[in-house]
Amino acid sequence: MLRFTEEHEWLKQDGEEVIVGITEHAAEQLGDLVFVELPEEGVTVVKGEEVVTIESVKAASDIAAPLDGQITEVNPAIVENPALVNEDPMENGWFFKMTLADPADLDGLMDEEAYRAYIA
């Protein structure tokens, strides 16, 4: 099950965790990524808190935590090769995994149909 935020992040349930990344739409808007800085594993985050810094050929921006929870794993492949986010944002270009403080919070996010309407 995929869920989406208004900040163009996607979340995919993976057992007790969710995998978080940015959407293809966001990757296209940003342009080619040249730098990614990920959060520390084990850190507790609050929805809206900046947790990832990215730089593209166009601009630098921050990615916020989509929900409250704890970062359990980060994707070192995108630090070594930020272009992975542009090439495959919905799979190999994921940013981090987290356990949610309240898994029911996922229900408050958009499904794919609602997200497509949002970006239309």
CB 22 within 8 A of CB 29: no
Inform me whether the pLDDT recorded for 1 exceeds 90: no
Total tally of structural domains belonging to the chain: 1
What's the predicted TM-score (pTM) here? 0.96
Q: What is the CATH number of the domain that holds 8?
A: 2.40.50.100
Give 80's DSSP letter. Answer: H
Domain region containing 78:
2-119
**24-59 tens-digit pLDDT:** 999 999 999 999 999 999 999 999 999 999 999 988
CB 90 within 8 A of CB 76: no
C-alpha span between 64 and 80 (Å, rounded): 21
Residues in the chain: 120
**101-111 tens-digit pLDDT:** 999 999 999 99
Inform me whether the pLDDT recorded for 83 exceeds 90: yes
